[in-house]
Amino acid sequence: MSGDDLWRGGRDLQAAADAVGLGAWRVELGEERIELSAEACALFGLPAEEAGPRSTQEAWRFYAPEHRAPIERAFRDCVEQASPYDIEFEALTAAGQRRWLRATGEPVRGDDGGVVAVRGALQDIDPYKRREAELREAWREAERTDRAKSEFLSAMSHELRTPLNAILGFAQLLNAGIERDPEEHRAYLRHILSAGWHLRDLVGDLLDLARVEAGKTSFSPEPVRVGELLQECVRLAWEQAVERGVSIRLEEAAEGSACRVWADRLRAKQIVLNLLTNAVKYNRDGGSVTLSFHPEGEEEVAIDVRDTGIGIPRERSAALFESFERLGHELGEIEGAGLGLALALRLSRLMGGDLALVASEPGEGSHFRLRLPAAEAEGHDRSYGPSLDPQLLDDAEGEAPIQLLYVEDNSVNQLLLQGLAGQRGGVELLEANDAVGGLEIAERYAPDLILLDIHLPDMDGYELVRRLRAIPALEAVPVVAVSADATDEARRRALASGFDDYILKPFELEELNALIREIRLSK
Ligand code: ADP
């Protein structure tokens, strides 16, 4: 190798050392001094001019205090036992910053074979250490998520299977046909119904929560009069409150009577109803619930729900808004899945508001406050519909029955509608199993009402409604979608395709009954 090659090799080596942040050091034993190369100085944040010997005592300040002992030990072993070392530590730079370095050390032997000096390299490993810490944190986070997912699945399995057990269990008893007294029979049916409704709500909450977490919830905000919203919620919770022996009072603050919030009406109702039913559920016999509201500044309206119930222990309140968190009520009598508040909090925040537990005292009661953005006071509010009448009755006896076409491929759903039509009377049911059959019957009979399943074997309901709408004789016939797809997109798509309304499965029979009643009365 020529001298020139060597020189170039030295330069290249220098460039390589610079690229990976590599410096050299050497300690002469007995002289108590350490020599640092210019690169090693740079690693400690020192200017290159400070390269050269300095006292080992002074060098100690470049090591983070908690790393000094292992370095000292490794150095001592190297001197005493001639053992090389390779150690990672945190340095303190001249500017006071921490930087991860790797230090290697090896003994240098004198003529007599004894160790006379120690030399080694210093390497900047800070980027790797930081990346490693990030990866470790990401790993821990993945483990946490994985654990949460398993817990979620196990909680969900439990929550879904419990009501299913009641439904299938009591249905099997009824199916076995051992007729006891009719009261027992009715009690079994009540259990089936109550477990079924509970399951429906649970599935609704679960889907809602999944949509919220996936950022897929859509809102249609409008000015909503708070007084009316609360009245509607009270009406919906009334029966449950009476059963529980709890009274509900709605305080209407004078300044609040024109109070409006800017919110999605259905979502706002869902949140308040959740707070209200909780206040009833977790109350005591003879207890009470008070609802009130007031403007908070110009921007917000506060809705307060106070109860005289069992309260929430302070140490548990931190977990109150977590999903599947029941705060010790898991094994109790009170039904619930621990999803309501988790969902309510997320929904209220997505609407620009918030939800909080203001105060709670075990044995005394709780006070929740929902805050929603205020809307201007003017304008007209949509009124709420009439209260639901749970009886299935023919309301226009003697008059000609209406013709109802139901296009549905599922035989159990067909049976359900046959049952409803048979019970209430006043309905002549026409049925088709597929879209083509449905079109044929619709054209031939021009029925008064058409109900369409969306998932049909030969054509989807969106297409079918478009074709129905193209038939002039059917122009004025209401066509209603009956679907199990609870997403807002599905509902929007159905209405845009020409449906007049959208009924979600499972539905309360009263929902269909009301539709039929309306059409009979308008005939
Ligand atoms: P769920 O009622 O289905 O269990 P929520 O998410 O609505 O679920 O409430 C979570 C938990 O918070 C409940 O299980 C209950 O322990 C507690 N909680 C909620 N509201 C009240 C209240 N008004 N009084 C006492 N405890 C309550």
Residue whose CA lies nearest to ligand 1 atom number 4: 338
CA of 437 to the centre of ligand 1 (A): 49
Q: Which of 277, 144, 424, 22 is nearest to 416 (CA)?
A: 424
Is 266 a member of any domain?
Answer: yes
pLDDT tens digits, 270-289 = 999 999 999 999 999 999 99
What is the predicted pLDDT for the residue at 8? 60
The string of DSSP codes covering 178-189 is ----HHHHHHHH
> Which pLDDT does position 381 carry in this prediction?
38
Ligand 1 touching residue 324 (CB < 6 A): no
Give residue 325's pLDDT: 82
Q: Range with the lowest mean pLDDT among 1-5, 127-131, 156-160, 517-521?
A: 1-5
Least-confidence region, from 82-96, 448-462, 497-511: 497-511
The CA-CA-CA angle for residues 50, 51, 57, to 5°, reads 80
Residues 245 and 289: their CA atoms lie apart, in Å, by 11
pLDDT tens by residue, 174-217: 888 876 788 888 888 988 998 898 889 888 888 888 888 888 88
Q: Which of 12-16, 87-91, 199-203, 383-387 is predicted most confidently?
A: 87-91
Does residue 499 carry a pLDDT above 80? yes
Residue 514 — very low, low, confident or very high, per pLDDT cuts 50/70/90?
confident
Low-confidence winner among 142-151, 242-251, 266-275, 470-479 (lowest mean pLDDT): 142-151
**Largest separation between any pair of C-alpha atoms in the chain:** 124
Question: 338: Cβ below 6 Å to ligand 1?
Answer: yes
pLDDT at 5: 56
Within 13 Å of residue 404, how many CA atoms lie on the same side as its CB? 26
CA–CA separation, 244 and 283 (whole Å): 8
> Which position has the higher pLDDT, 257 or 459?
459
The residues, any chain, with a CB within 8 Å of residue 71's CB and separated by 6 or more, are 63, 87, 89, 103
Residue 436 reports pLDDT greater than 50: yes
List the single range of 10-19, 39-48, 409-418 with lowest mean pLDDT: 10-19
d(CA 307, CA 289): 4
Three-state DSSP class for residue 486: coil
Domain edge (last residue) among 79, 101, 124: 124
Q: What percentage of the chain has pLDDT greater than the value 70?
A: 92
The reply to whether 144 and 281 lie within a common domain is: no
Q: Is residue 369 part of a domain?
A: yes
Query: Percentage of the chain with pLDDT > 90?
Result: 53
What is the model's pLDDT at position 393?
A: 60
Higher pLDDT, 132 or 255: 132
Is residue 480 pLDDT above 50, yes or no?
Answer: yes
Cβ 370 vs Cβ 355: under 8 Å: yes
Which atom in ligand 1 lies closest to the alpha carbon of residue 283? 24
**Pick from 179, 224, 156: which is nearest to 377 by CA?**
224
pLDDT at 489 over 50: yes
- Higher per-residue confidence, 226 vs 53: 226
Do residues 75 and 191 both lie within one domain?
no
CA of 241 to the centre of ligand 1 (A): 16
| pLDDT at residue 334, as a whole number | 81
pLDDT over threshold 70, residue 294:
yes
Strand, helix or coil for residue 504? strand
The answer to whether residues 115 and 136 belong to one domain is no
Question: In terms of domains, do 475 and 517 share one?
Answer: yes
Q: What band does 254 get if pLDDT is binned at 50, 70 and 90?
A: low
* Residue 389 scores a pLDDT above 50: no
Does some domain include residue 381? no
Q: How far is CA 385 from the centre of its chain?
A: 31
Residues 446 and 364 placed together within one structural domain of the fold: no
Task: Provide the CATH number for the domain around residue 444.
Answer: 3.40.50.2300
The CATH number of the domain holding residue 63 is: 3.30.450.20
415/287 same-domain check: no
**337 in contact with ligand 1, CB cutoff 6 A:** yes
* Residue 165 is assigned to a structural domain of this protein: yes
- Kindly give the distance from the C-alpha atom of residue 332 to the centroid of ligand 1, in angstroms, as a whole number: 12
Among the candidates 124, 141, 161, a domain finishes at 124
Last residue of a domain, one of 104, 124, 144: 124
Q: What are phi and psi of 217, to 5 degrees?
A: -85, 135
The contacts of residue 359 (CB under 8 Å, 6+ apart) are 366, 367
User: Computed from CA positions of residues 256, 258, 263, 267, in that sequence, does the dihedral angle turn out positive or negative?
Assistant: positive
Residue ranges of E strands in 96-191: 98-109, 115-124
Strands lying side by side in the sheet with 98-109: 52-55, 33-36, 22-28, 115-124, 98-109, 85-92
Which pLDDT score, from 0 to 100, does residue 521 have? Answer: 81
Q: Whose CA is nearest to atom 8 of ligand 1?
A: 338
Question: For residue 506, is the peptide bond before it cis, meaning its omega torsion is within 30 degrees of 0?
Answer: yes
- Per DSSP (E only), the strands in 166-257 are 221-225, 247-250
Residue labelled with tokens 């106070």: 306
26 lines ligand 1 (CB under 6 A): no
Instruction: Please give the average per-residue pLDDT across 431-438, as a whole number.
Output: 96
In the prediction, which pLDDT does 428 show? 94
Q: Is residue 130 over pLDDT 60?
A: yes
Tell me how far the alpha carbon of residue 326 lies from the centroid of ligand 1, in angstroms.
6
Q: CA–CA separation, 107 vs 170, rounded Å?
A: 83
Supply φ then ψ for residue 362, to 5 degrees. -55, 130
Judge if 29 and 138 occupy the same domain. Answer: no
The one-character DSSP state at 21 is: T
Distance of alpha carbon 78 from alpha carbon 17, whole angstroms: 24
Q: Report pLDDT for 257.
A: 66
Q: Which atom of ligand 1 is nearest to the CA of 309?
A: 24
CB within 8 Å of 280: residues ≥ 6 apart: 237, 240, 241, 244, 246, 248, 289, 307
Please compute the mean of the pLDDT values over residues 168-173 and round it to a whole number. Answer: 89
Please indicate, yes or no, if residue 396 is contained in any of the structural domains.
Answer: no
Residue 198: strand, helix, or coil: helix
Q: Contact, 294 vs 301, CB < 8 A?
A: yes
Distance 351 CA to ligand 1 centre (A): 22
Structure confidence by residue, pLDDT tens digits, 26-49: 998 888 888 999 889 999 998 888
CA atoms within 13 A on the CB side of 214: 10
What pTM, to 2 d.p., does this model score? 0.61
Max mean pLDDT range (1-5, 409-413, 492-496, 511-515):
492-496
Residues 411 and 506 in one domain: yes
Greater pLDDT, 177 or 304: 304
Q: What whole-number distance in Å separates Cα of residue 66 and Cα of residue 98?
A: 12
Q: Is 60 exceeded by the pLDDT of residue 6? A: no
Please check whether residue 385 lies inside any domain of the structure.
Answer: no
Choose the residue to mutate in 158, 201, 280, 326 for probing ligand 1, maximizing ligand atoms within 8 Å of C-beta: 326
User: pLDDT for 61-110, tens place per residue?
Assistant: 899 999 999 999 999 999 999 999 999 999 999 899 999 999 999 999 99
Burial environment of residue 241 by CB neighbours within 10 A (0 to 12, 13 to 18, 19 or more): buried
What confidence score (pLDDT) does residue 388 get?
Answer: 32
Q: Are 109 and 12 part of one and the same domain?
A: yes
Residue nearest to atom 18 of ligand 1 (CA): 278
**Comparing C-alpha atoms, which of 493, 447, 488 is closest to residue 466?**
493
By residue range, what is the domain housing residue 264? 221-375
Residues 347 and 414 both lie in one domain: no
- Cβ of 365 closer than 6 Å to ligand 1, yes or no, is no
Given a cut of 60, is residue 372 above it in pLDDT?
yes
The average pLDDT across 416-422 equals 87
- d(C-alpha 249, C-alpha 186), whole Å: 33
Looking at per-residue pLDDT, the higher value among 393 and 144 belongs to 144
Of 244, 341, 348, 370, best ligand 1 pocket probe by most atoms within 8 Å of the beta carbon: 341
Q: What CA–CA distance (Å, rounded) separates 168 from 276?
A: 31
Token code pair at residue 461: 């309901």
pLDDT of residue 470: 94
* Phi, psi angles (nearest 5°) of residue 421: -60, -40
pLDDT band at 408 (very low <50, low <70, confident <90, very high): very high
From atom 25 of ligand 1, which residue's Cα is the shortest distance away?
311
From 199, 202, 209, 278, give the residue whose CB has the most ligand 1 atoms within 8 Å, as the site to mutate: 278
Find out whether the beta carbon of 490 lies less than 6 Å from any atom of ligand 1. no
Q: What is the pLDDT of residue 218?
A: 80
Question: 333 CB contacts (<8 Å, ≥6 apart)?
Answer: none
The reply to whether ligand 1 has any atom less than 6 angstroms from the CB of 326 is yes
Residues 228 and 370 in one domain: yes
Q: For all residues of the chain together, what is the average pLDDT? A: 87
Amino acid residing at 176 = A
| Ligand 1 atom with least separation from CA of 365 | 24
Whether 341 is in the pocket of ligand 1, judged by its Cβ within 6 Å, is: yes
pLDDT in the model for residue 2: 47
| pLDDT grade for 430, boundaries at 50, 70 and 90 | very high
More confident residue, 165 or 438: 438
Helix (H, G, I), strand (E, B) or coil at 81: helix
Q: What is the DSSP string of 31-78?
A: TTEEEE-HHHHHHTT--GGG-EEEEHHHHGGGB-HHHHHHHHHHHHHH
Residue with tokens 């977490």: 213
What is the tally of structural domains in the chain?
4
Residues 430 and 347 both lie in one domain: no
Q: What residues contact 160, with CB distance under 8 A and at least 6 apart?
A: 199, 202, 203
pLDDT band at 7 (very low <50, low <70, confident <90, very high): low
* Tokens found for residue 161: 């299977």
- Measure 315 CA to ligand 1 centroid, in angstroms: 14
Q: Calculate how far, in angstroms, residue 141's C-alpha sits from the geometric centre of ligand 1.
A: 28
* Both tokens assigned to 516: 């039929």
Residue having the nearest C-alpha atom to atom 14 of ligand 1 = 326
Question: Over 70: is that where the pLDDT of 391 sits?
Answer: no
